[in-house]
Amino acid sequence: QVQLVESGGGLVQAGGSLRLSCAASGSIRSINAMGWYRQAPGKQREFVATITSDGRTTYADSVKGRFTISRDNAKNTVYLQMNSLKPEDTAVYYCNAVLVYVYWGQGTQVTVSS
């Protein structure tokens, strides 16, 4: 079992920045990868970024060059630094952890105003 708690969402103007955090607890040694997804109103949840246990990262094309995923193993925390935010980045952002099963956090709202 893994518990995930996201934080750091909020309201920001277009062009601004936010940093999301996802703190993991529980069976964290079994985590293969952690990632961020987002879901805008009326849309399906979509992939944003992922980072493996050995630090390899993958990004959605829509966020490449603007978002950076990183992890602090000592704090069991994954971060998503979001720069140059756009109104279309507005969504609920979810953290996940991949073990044998996939665990999800409760989500944190990000709203980008134009």
Q: How far is CA 50 from CA 14, 15, 32, 113, in A?
A: 24, 23, 11, 26
Other beta carbons less than 10 A from residue 98's beta carbon: 17
Whole-number pLDDT of residue 70: 96
Evaluate if residue 87 carries a pLDDT over 80.
yes
Helices (H), the chain: none
CA atoms 84, 17, 39, 74: torsion sign: positive
pLDDT tens across 15-28, in order?
A: 999 999 999 998 77
The mean pLDDT value of the chain amounts to 95
Token code pair at residue 65: 């060059």
Whole-number pLDDT of residue 39: 98
Whole-number pLDDT of residue 32: 86
The pLDDT > 70 percentage for the chain reads 100
Whole-number pLDDT of residue 42: 94
Whole-number pLDDT of residue 19: 98
What is the distance between the alpha carbons of residues 36 and 69, in angstroms, rounded to a whole number? Answer: 8
Nearest CA to 109 out of 42, 1, 12, 32 is that of 12
CA atoms 14, 42, 92, 65: torsion sign: negative
